Structure 1
């Protein structure tokens, strides 16, 4: 019994000492939670960091620190000289790029991030409309911790499948791949809030275009797949049977929920090149802004065909736009390389072929049920 009491006492002392050591360690460091990169003066790099500092009473406060230098590591050294605590990146959650820097290229900073063993490959990456410094240093009525707010904003939209995932690991993989380009969310300020306003399209390391936020569904539909998404689309009443058009608006809004999707991309002609893209969707109709009896199987089939046609057209439109921007965010080049033996495909060669590629899109929607009570 005495040995047991001694063991418990020793553990309590050890835990107490460990807690004190942890507290002292946190008192000495500043935790970088978010980093924003902008184009500085004379083409230098401007870095803005959101730093969390912990007081001896374990109260945390947020500090915004910025510096300019030729390299990201150089700016961190300058920022260290502006604070009493050593800056560490082990808790880094988000990296942002100002759109001007993104237009010129993010390759140097991206390579620096991937080479830093203290930085997790799971951090989120995004582009900011304007300068990251301006959006981070601004005050917001209902946002206390800007770094945590942006992290949670990106996290919940990726978890809800509203946008594609853009972690450091995924972005770096696409950047170094032949036949696939980067895409990441675009953030912008709207009054007292920050919103995801679109998706940035890259040609290798340079941002060359953007899609509106409403098109992020089609981007994810082709690039990835849905496990349980929600999306609102429009169908023209011209695509419905004439007997069902009476009293309906020219365009119907349909909300699809619990979306599960699969995509199949197949190279059918390597000379053009030409692809077949088949996408199958299982979903239920959550809402429809018209009086249509969805208990009638024939009318459900009619809606399925109309939505399938609309989605096929929209996906084709987005692919054509990405081709015009010469941004292969869908990885058509990767499919070409894996399908054509000894293709010896280079990035430059594929970019010439990509803009002339033909993609035949076919979307097949299967409505599983039409409401939660069906």
Structure 2
């Protein structure tokens, strides 16, 4: 009995010592939650860090600090000289890049963060319209911790499939692939709010173009699959037979969710090259405005065909735009490399081939149940 009691006392001592050690560590460090990079003066790197400091009573204070140096490590040293606590990056959740810097080159920043063992591969990366310093240093009335706010903004939109995901791991995979380019979300400040405003397309490590945020649906459905999500599209009057409408209308707005998609990419001609892109979507239509006769199977079938036509058109538009800027964010090049033996495909070679590639888009849209029509 005495031996058992002794073991418990030793165990409890370790628990208390561990708790004290943790309190001591938090009291002495500043937790970097977000870092933004911009073009500095004289080719230096401008870094803006969001740092959370925790006192012994577990009350926290958020500092937003900007520095300039020749390297990111030099910037950390500069920041340490301005704070009373050692800066750590183990809690960093987001890396942002200013628009001007993204257009110049992000190679150094991708490699540096990959080589840093303290930086998680699951960290989100995004582009800022304008400078990251301006976005992060703005005094928001209802945002206490801008670093945590931006992390949650990106995380919840990725989980709900409203925006593409761009973690360090995903970016590195696409960057080092010979047949694929990477893309990142774009964020901006809108008065007192921060919003996701678009998608940045890259060629190599340079941003070459953008797409609006609504196009994230088309990008994701070609690159990946949908399991959940909500999307709204507008059908033109000529796309829907007039006899299914309850009243005349110039356009028809359709909202659908519970999306389940499956895509198949097939190389049908290696010389051109030409691909068949088959996308099957099963969805629940929530709203159609103006109303249609939901009890008529012919009306529902006509609506399915109209949505198929609309989605095919929009997917072709997004792919064509990526071809114009030679940014294969969809991975057609990876499919080409896996199918064509001895292709010796390089990123430069595929960029030239990609702009002349042909894609036959086929969408099969099925309404699982009608939902609510208004």
Post-superposition shift, 1:248?
2.8
The residue that corresponds to 1:72 in the other structure is 72
Secondary structure of 1:232's aligned partner: strand
The residue that corresponds to 1:309 in the other structure is 309
- What stretches of structure 1 of length at least 5 have no aligned partner? none
Question: Are 2:293 and 1:272 equivalent residues in the alignment?
Answer: no
The residue that corresponds to 2:295 in the other structure is 295
Post-superposition shift, 1:246?
6.3
The residue that corresponds to 2:188 in the other structure is 188
Structure 1 stretch displaced more, 126-135 or 57-66 = 57-66
For residues 155-196 of structure 1, give each alpha carbon's deviation from its aligned partner in whole angstroms, at most 9, with x where no partner exists. 000000011111000001111111111111000000100000
Question: Are 2:97 and 1:97 equivalent residues in the alignment?
Answer: yes
The residue that corresponds to 1:244 in the other structure is 244
The residue that corresponds to 1:123 in the other structure is 123
Post-superposition shift, 1:57?
1.2
Secondary structure of 2:82's aligned partner: coil
Post-superposition shift, 1:245?
4.5
Post-superposition shift, 1:89?
0.9
The residue that corresponds to 1:43 in the other structure is 43
The number of residues matched between the two structures is 373
In 2, Cα distance between the equivalents of 1:335 and 1:18? 51
In 2, Cα distance between the equivalents of 1:12 and 1:372? 59
Secondary structure of 1:62's aligned partner: strand
In 2, Cα distance between the equivalents of 1:260 and 1:73? 45
Indicate conservation of the 8 Å contact 1:95/1:123, yes or no. yes
For residues 324-355 of structure 1, give each alpha carbon's deviation from its aligned partner in whole angstroms, at most 9, with x where no partner exists. 11111111111111111000112221111111
**Superposition map of 1:208-357 within 5 A:** 208-245=208-245, 247-357=247-357
Indicate conservation of the 8 Å contact 2:44/2:70, yes or no. yes
For residues 182-231 of structure 1, give each alpha carbon's deviation from its aligned partner in whole angstroms, at most 9, with x where no partner exists. 11100000010000000000001000000001111101110111011110
In 2, Cα distance between the equivalents of 1:209 and 1:82? 37
In 1, Cα distance between the equivalents of 2:106 and 2:285? 41
- What stretches of structure 2 of length at least 5 have no aligned partner? none
The residue that corresponds to 1:172 in the other structure is 172
For residues 8-36 of structure 1, give each alpha carbon's deviation from its aligned partner in whole angstroms, at most 9, with x where no partner exists. 33333222111111111111111111000
The residue that corresponds to 1:81 in the other structure is 81
In 2, Cα distance between the equivalents of 1:115 and 1:341? 33
Post-superposition shift, 1:239?
2.1
In 1, Cα distance between the equivalents of 2:129 and 2:328? 22
Indicate conservation of the 8 Å contact 1:237/1:245, yes or no. no
Flag the 1:242–1:66 CA change in 2: closer, same or farther, 3 A: closer
In 2, Cα distance between the equivalents of 1:113 and 1:106? 11
Question: Are 2:204 and 1:204 equivalent residues in the alignment?
Answer: yes
Secondary structure of 1:81's aligned partner: helix
In 1, Cα distance between the equivalents of 2:189 and 2:39? 19
The residue that corresponds to 2:19 in the other structure is 19
Structure 1 stretch displaced more, 65-74 or 202-211 = 65-74
Secondary structure of 1:365's aligned partner: strand
